[in-house]
Structure 1
Amino acid sequence: MTTYRVLNEPLAFRMSQSDSTDDDRDLVRAGYRPLFRRGLGGFAAFAAGFSYLSILTGIVQNFHLGYREAGPAFFWTWPVVFAGQLCVALCFAELARRYPYCGGVYAWAGRVGAPSLGWLVGWIYLASLVVTLAAVALAWQVMLPALWPGFQVLDTPARNAALLGVVLIALSTFLNVRGTRLLARVMAAGVVVELIAAVALIALLCGHAVRGPGVVLEARASAPGGGLGPFLAAAVMAAYVMYGFDTAGSLAEETVDPRRRAPRAILQALLAAAALGALLLIGALTSAPDLTDPLLSDGAGGLPYLIKGVLGDALGTVFVAAAALAVFVCTLAVHALAARTLFAMARDGATPFAGRLSRVHPEHRTPHTAAAAVGVLGCALLAFNSGYEQLMTALVCVSIVWTNLAYLLTTGALLVERLRSGPTPDSFLGRCGTPVNALAVVWGAALVVNIGWPREQLYGPEWYQRYGAALYTGALLIAGAVVYRTVRRSA
């Protein structure tokens, strides 16, 4: 295995074993000074991952995408995507136990592969997180005006979405700067509310069922492309939801006993989201008054429209409000992961302005400068969305490609290490490690190709829109090469 080296040596330090706690000894051995306050328990770590996955955010926001492509049978893309992502999550659980460091996939890839690979993964993942932060913040436009018309402050939906998103990111920045304990309490409370709301919503929708669960076998006959094409396109909806489960691993330096709790939290978050999401989809499809209603396939309708149609305006509004709260908590989780990824890279001297971005607030013990920088970048993207909504929509799709590309590079490096070094005695996966890891790599490659496929309905009609995944990714890698050379020269 390639030994990971800290790029910014002045930031590293040596510390005797007696001066550190058991949880901090891994940091000391890696040359890092423990700066964060450990206070996150098992549920808080789970809440961080589940908040990111947030079915009441992802499914509510993107239900119409899957339904538009394949009709009710798009449900089957959910268990398929879950099975593939579970292989990835199992690999990440192993890495989280081996390397309990801040930064998640950035830290893991740099240690199972090479520091340069870690930098590339961190660069790609950080870009995807900033775009995801803006995309999640835009979801308030789907929900808040439905709760109260007064939230439609501006006449243009795109500009109003940007305004609401800026307010949301500003709140998220405040909480991410204020302290991890406060952030964890808010996320934990939000997750409890989301879990209760999700279970209640599933029960109510199933209680209003007008058809049996066999509806999930009904494919849309008029779906363009025929055959497998519509289902591959519909799988994008599930892929939009089932990622970010690695968040618990990125909070390892703030978690008590991270070698035990972070792997569990990664898997628990994905399993809980997958189970509740599947039940929610079944409840929605069995209770929909009219499966041919065009609003089910429209972003202006979708699942919020279905919920209100089934449960009535009053009760439906309660669940739309719960979804709005889930968006808020999801924003906190995405922001926290992005800030810690940026901080971890800066701590290694792997970013411009590393000295400032690697600072931790002496009182709140948070990466406050990195959190503020992420907030500014997210708001800048929201401003971009207000004038170039179609381009932003394409960029959001591409960001999912970037996330899974970062996952693929990490699991790929882990597989190469396995094949070179053989099975590890204390491996989290034991003898199943190599086949599970190989499946994760194959799945990751297939997912990247599928999401990045030049589909007009996702990216737009023009050639430069349809091939946005390749063009945006190329631009990101070119920009990354320039930044990397600059950072290496100044190191």
Structure 2
Amino acid sequence: MTTAAPPPAAPPSAPRRPGHADDQHLVRFGYRPQLRRDVGSYASFAAGFSFVSILTTVFQLFAFGYGFAGPIVSWTWLIVLGGQLTVALTFAELVARYPLSGAIYQWSTRLAGPRLGWYTGWTMIIAQVITFAAAAIALQGVLPAIWSGFQVVGGDPALGTPSGATNAVVLATALVLLTTAISVIGVRLTAVVTSVGVTLEIIGVAAVIVLLLLNVERGPGVVLDVDGAGFDPTFGAFLASGLMAAYVLVGFNSAAELAEETTDPRRTAPRTILRAVLASGLGGGLLLLAGLMAAPSLDDGRLATEGLPYVLTSQLGPVGGRILLADVAIAVLVCALAIQTAAARMVFSMARDGQLPAARVLGAVSPRTGTPVVPSILIGLGGILVLVVNIGQPGLFTALTSVCIVMIYLAYLMVTAPMLLQRLRRPGEFAAGHDGFFSLGRWGLPVNAVAVAYGAAMVVNLAWPREAVYDPAGDSPLLRWSAVLVVLAVVAAGVVARAAVRRSVPATAAPGVSVPTPATSQEGAAR
């Protein structure tokens, strides 16, 4: 089988390590192996788990979700986890077939053609840059609580104040510079830092859960306690509270973004994607439950404004709380690093195909480190630019988080929807695994259909113009439409960028050349 896909900017050549099966497989796609395969199974899992980073995101967003519907926010966690698991299952199938950097760009291209593939990659790059900045901002909720000296600009450290928002930009910029330096040095250091950080994060999550459960104020029935917590949530409030889980449980595809740097990616990446989702879902769910059970009060307003840090410091004291917050700071570091790494691979993959401006520069790999250096620097600069725009604008931070997640869900949908159409048009296409690689078999169609329905519904839910989400201060009604306006702006910018790329195509690549797709039954027979 052949499918239309953009060709590489450089012609295929022999693998860097003759006889290496992974590199030989990459050559069959028409790509010259350039990236170093220094990522093992645990580092691949760490890439997906650290992007989700429940210790970062649940701490950062617990108050946000609780403020809408109270304790029943825990039920929305289960719903979102179920929906995202169906997406992860479809991604696991795809990475077993197409273990390529820039995963969802490559998948969308091979499922629906180069045009949709390009917009999928473009949308994901912009979303990852914004997500990178939003993750780095989480340091503001952690470091000043550990030591007041981290509030370098003075004033109130609360993120919702101008002084807190400005200080968040300072801390986040320092973090971006650090992660960029790590990324440029090479994927081996990135893998080590991520693996160590994820190990500490898992230990921290377990410690927080155990310590909170040892200091409970109420039983697990709290998840059904609405009236006692002072909430009378409507269905709309329930949907809004689900945004917290939607914000957290994304990014597990990062394991696939490192496929060309992973050993045996067709077997490793599907497993690590699913492990990242399941581990994040279980750990995050228990963290939510333990926080609700240990909170000193459900109705004094502090849980809806201060979230889990309030519970920790109240129950464990300032010293114990600060120790655990230090672990959260490490989780923020590896989360930001994972996002930057994934985004850099997306830029590299599109540039290698001649699908971005300055493709020759962006598609280059350092011969010394085997790392796409320029894309890493570009993502770092993009993150800083997003941060600078938000100086002294506390109302924009929540909108920033919401907008980037909308775009990630859109990018996911631009993969799962074409895959569903392929299943309907060619029922046997994904009916069974090839050579023992991951496949959903006969469950593929219903799982894929649920993934598409869930993704479409969540895009609408995320983008809905809620004042409490996009304009909590009530400063500008226009902010309520931030998600829709930003998505339209990204599409418009994409039209301009793609037109510029197409004008320069003769100098980079000839589009429309068929690229062999090795993950087919024909290949299996040949083997």
Global fold match (TM > 0.5)? yes
Three-state SS of the structure 1 residue aligned to 2:302 is helix
1:399 matched to 2:404? The reply is: yes
Cα distance in 2 for partners of 1:55, 1:210 equals: 23
The equivalent of 1:96 in structure 2 is: 95
The equivalent of 2:480 in structure 1 is: 466
Identity %: 47
Q: Select 1:217's aligned residue among 197, 212, 224.
A: 224
The equivalent of 1:5 in structure 2 is: 5
CA drift at 1:2: 6.9
Three-state SS of the structure 1 residue aligned to 2:142 is helix
CA drift at 1:18: 9.5
1:254 matched to 2:272? The reply is: no
CA drift at 1:31: 1.3
Cα distance in 2 for partners of 1:11, 1:78 equals: 45
Contact 1:140 1:324 in 2 (8 A): yes
The equivalent of 2:499 in structure 1 is: 485
Deviations 1:288-314 (A, max 9, x none): 11111212111xx21111111111111
Three-state SS of the structure 1 residue aligned to 2:303 is helix
CA drift at 1:26: 2.6
CA drift at 1:4: 3.2
Cα distance in 1 for partners of 2:325, 2:14 equals: 51
CA drift at 1:464: 1.3
- TM-score scaled by length of structure 2: 0.90
1:266 matched to 2:265? The reply is: no
Contact 1:6 1:12 in 2 (8 A): no
Cα distance in 2 for partners of 1:281, 1:355 equals: 46
Contiguous gaps of at least 5 residues in structure 1: none
CA drift at 1:113: 1.4
CA drift at 1:30: 1.6
RMSD: 1.6
Cα distance in 2 for partners of 1:339, 1:327 equals: 18
- Given the superposition, is the C-alpha separation of residues 59 and 16 from structure 1 closer, same or farther in structure 2, using an over 3 Å criterion? closer
Contact 2:76 2:238 in 1 (8 A): yes
1:309 matched to 2:314? The reply is: yes
The equivalent of 1:184 in structure 2 is: 191
Task: Kindly report which structure 2 residues correspond to 1:37-436, keeping only aligned pairs within 5 A, or say none.
Answer: 37-155=36-154, 156-219=163-226, 223=231, 226-298=233-305, 301-423=306-428, 424-427=430-433, 428-436=439-447
Cα distance in 2 for partners of 1:219, 1:118 equals: 45
Q: Select 2:464's aligned residue among 433, 453, 456.
A: 453
The equivalent of 2:157 in structure 1 is: none
Q: Pick which of 241-250 and 384-393 moved more.
A: 384-393
Deviations 1:406-463 (A, max 9, x none): 0011000111111111133534100000000000000000010001111000001333
CA drift at 1:359: 1.0
CA drift at 1:222: 5.8
Three-state SS of the structure 2 residue aligned to 1:137 is helix
Partner amino acid for 1:40? V
- Given the superposition, is the C-alpha separation of residues 108 and 307 from structure 1 closer, same or farther in structure 2, using an over 3 Å criterion? same
- Given the superposition, is the C-alpha separation of residues 364 and 18 from structure 1 closer, same or farther in structure 2, using an over 3 Å criterion? closer
CA drift at 1:139: 0.6
Three-state SS of the structure 2 residue aligned to 1:3 is strand
Deviations 1:351-403 (A, max 9, x none): 11111111111111111100000000101111111144423431321110000
- Given the superposition, is the C-alpha separation of residues 17 and 433 from structure 1 closer, same or farther in structure 2, using an over 3 Å criterion? farther
Contact 2:230 2:299 in 1 (8 A): no
Partner amino acid for 1:32? Y
Three-state SS of the structure 1 residue aligned to 2:432 is coil
CA drift at 1:13: 2.1
Partner amino acid for 1:66? G
Cα distance in 2 for partners of 1:18, 1:273 equals: 36
CA drift at 1:118: 0.9
- Given the superposition, is the C-alpha separation of residues 222 and 481 from structure 1 closer, same or farther in structure 2, using an over 3 Å criterion? farther
1:441 matched to 2:452? The reply is: yes
Contiguous gaps of at least 5 residues in structure 2: 155-162, 434-438, 506-527
Cα distance in 1 for partners of 2:169, 2:208 equals: 29
Q: Pick which of 267-276 and 460-469 moved more.
A: 460-469
Q: Pick which of 415-424 and 449-458 moved more.
A: 415-424
Cα distance in 1 for partners of 2:33, 2:2 equals: 24
- Given the superposition, is the C-alpha separation of residues 337 and 17 from structure 1 closer, same or farther in structure 2, using an over 3 Å criterion? closer
Deviations 1:183-232 (A, max 9, x none): 101111111111111111101101101111000112267657x4311110
Contact 1:459 1:465 in 2 (8 A): yes
Contact 2:9 2:353 in 1 (8 A): no
Cα distance in 2 for partners of 1:158, 1:65 equals: 17
Deviations 1:111-158 (A, max 9, x none): 111111110100111111000000000010110000001101013212
Cα distance in 1 for partners of 2:253, 2:15 equals: 30
Task: Indicate the structure with greater helix content.
Answer: 1
CA drift at 1:489: 1.1
CA drift at 1:10: 4.3
- Given the superposition, is the C-alpha separation of residues 358 and 434 from structure 1 closer, same or farther in structure 2, using an over 3 Å criterion? same
Cα distance in 2 for partners of 1:357, 1:248 equals: 21
